[in-house]
Amino acid sequence: MHDSGRRTPLAGLRRVWGWWWQLSWPALRLQWGRQLAALLTIALGLALAGAVHWINASALAQFESAARQSSAQADVELGATPGAAPLSDRFFAELAAREDIAAIAPRLDASIRLQGRDGQWQRVRLIGLDLFQIGAFHPQWLPRMDGADLGRALREPAMLVSDAAWTRLGLEAPTALRVDLPGEPAPLPIAGRVPDRQQALVIMDIAWAQQLLRRPGQLDAILLRMSAGHAVPAAWPPGISAHAPEDQARQQADDARRLTRAYRLNLGVLSLMALFVGAFMVFAVHSLSVAQRLPQLALLGVLGMSAGQRLALLVSEALVLGLAGAVLGLGLAIALAELGLHALGGDLGSGLTGLSGGRPALQLSTTSIIGLLALGPLVSLGAAALPLARLRRLPVAQVLKGLGSGGDTSRWWWLGPALLAAALPLAAMRPVLGLPLGAYGAMVALLLGALGTVPFVLRAITG
């Protein structure tokens, strides 16, 4: 008895495998075209959803990293509050005279366009800095010694070009670059290279940057390092905001998220709609499969297989289909994300975050991978739930006599037209918290309504 009990799990697995091999595999093989179509729709929906998520996550991670690097060596970063006048050189001079401040550096930020080797204009970040302070506050942007001419960058409006911008512009060994700014027809000279492979940026002395951008006396940020024994002041003049570098980087990343929220949500909804279509493909495949196999399933019930066992058999088919689609979708998602980052950059070429010239590294997390793999079986099982639920109410004797399954869905004829009618007021809804939730609901209502109406229309036409 003890040995028999130990063999019970193995015997159960063998029996389940025998059922699957003898009953499920022949059915799947006969319907391979429909099963493949359902698998591909799940995979494509998951691939689009995963790629959009990872591209956005990678871009925002790089943006936050870039913002953190801009003031990494400072104790505090000062900026103008929203709606206030920009910081000025006069305020900078007042701070420089204070004894509690050990070091101070200004910064000017802008987004400009440079002409690449192929004649196309590419957007990069322009940073104006005090080049004498670049080693103290921005050591990551110290130019390479070979070929660098900081003296030239001080004497004239010459640029230090990052490696990422160099690659983006397709440069080889140019001596000047043309800038897309009013009143700057002549190319600006290149004074050296900056070893930054993530951010497409150029650095200029801040005085020349102010002149180039026609912002005399204006600053975007002032970086401070306090003297030993002195804390960062708690109060600043009106119109001045103070942030720790980490807080400032986080705030800029949040601003980038808000700025790109619309296109990120739209792409996310489109990917979910693709996954939604995949779910309906699974629903159609399982509905047809159950309808075709009703006599076989009824006969299995007569031969002793319980309703729960028959249901478990078909549930396993749905899970296998969803898992296969998830594995394929994961591979496609990673490939699409890599392709999107390489071809378009982290902001998909929109230029909203200033990363269009950069190539963020793909950020893959274990949680997102597990979530994507779990989503496939969940979608497949959820789509198959309705046709599989019919098995619990399957009238075995009636099916074996050829009298049908007894299911009557005609009472639901009104649901499809009702959803189609609901799409119009949903589309006219005002945005909620800046999000077009009504439009998204209208898309779902149109899809569900059309799918729900077609069967009854066909039945009415064919009689």
Q: pLDDT tens digits, residue range 25-68?
A: 777 777 778 888 888 988 998 998 898 888 888 877 776 666 55
Higher pLDDT, 218 or 463: 218
Does residue 163 share a domain with residue 25? no
User: Is residue 275 located within the same domain as residue 400?
Assistant: yes
Same domain, 319 and 366: yes
My answer on whether 208 and 287 are in the same domain is no
Look at residue 357 in the predicted model and tell me its pLDDT. Answer: 47
Q: Comparing 197 with 194, which gets the higher pLDDT?
A: 194
- Which of 439 and 161 is assigned the larger pLDDT? 161
Does residue 154 or residue 287 have the better pLDDT?
154
Enumerate residues 6+ apart whose C-beta is below 8 A from 312.
none
Q: Residue 445 domain-assigned?
A: no
Choice among 183-192, 342-351, 450-459 with the minimum mean pLDDT: 342-351
For the segment 361-369, the average pLDDT, to the nearest whole number, is 85
User: Is 355 within 8 Å of 198 (Cβ atoms)?
Assistant: no
Is 162 in the same domain as 288?
no
Find the range with the poorest average confidence among 96-100, 113-117, 141-145: 141-145
Between 172 and 360, residue with greater pLDDT? 172
Report the pLDDT value the prediction gives residue 2, as an integer from 0 to 100: 47
CA angle 105, 169, 142 (to 5 degrees): 30
* Residues whose CB is less than 8 angstroms from the CB of residue 381 and which lie 6 or more positions away in sequence, other chains included: 315, 318, 319, 322
Q: Are residues 90 and 57 in the same domain?
A: no
Residue 119 has pLDDT above 60, yes or no: yes
Claim: this prediction has a pTM higher than 0.85: no
Residue 1 lies in a domain: no
| Between 408 and 241, residue with greater pLDDT | 241
In degrees and rounded to multiples of 5, residue 76 shows phi and psi of -150, 150
> Residue 433 — pLDDT band, cuts 50, 70, 90?
confident
Burial class for 229, CB neighbours closer than 10 Å (0-12, 13-18, 19+): exposed
Using a pLDDT cut of 90, give the percent of the chain over it. Answer: 15
| Arithmetic mean of pLDDT, 209-228 | 89
Q: pLDDT by residue (tens digit) across 233-248?
A: 888 888 898 877 665 5
Same domain assignment for residues 83 and 211 = yes
Q: Same structural domain for residues 133 and 215?
A: yes
Confidence of residue 321 (pLDDT cuts 50, 70, 90): confident
Q: Which one of 407, 424, 441 terminates a domain?
A: 407
Please tell me the total count of domains within the chain. 2
Residue 253 included in any domain: no
- Are 161 and 196 in the same domain? yes
438 part of a folded domain: no
In a domain, 444, yes or no: no
For residues 59 and 94, membership in a common domain is answered with: no
Residue 412 falls inside a structural domain? no
Statement to judge: residues 304 and 170 lie in one domain: no
Position 388 scores a pLDDT of 73
Boundary-marking domain end, from 407, 422, 451:
407
Q: What domain range includes position 343?
A: 14-65+259-407
Residues 310 and 359 in one domain: yes
Whether 426 is covered by a domain: the verdict is no
Going from the C-alpha of 322 to that of each of 227, 319, 325, 447, 450, the distances in angstroms are 61, 5, 5, 21, 24
**Would you say residue 44 lies in a domain?**
yes
Which range of 4-8, 228-232, 372-376 scores highest in mean pLDDT? It is 372-376
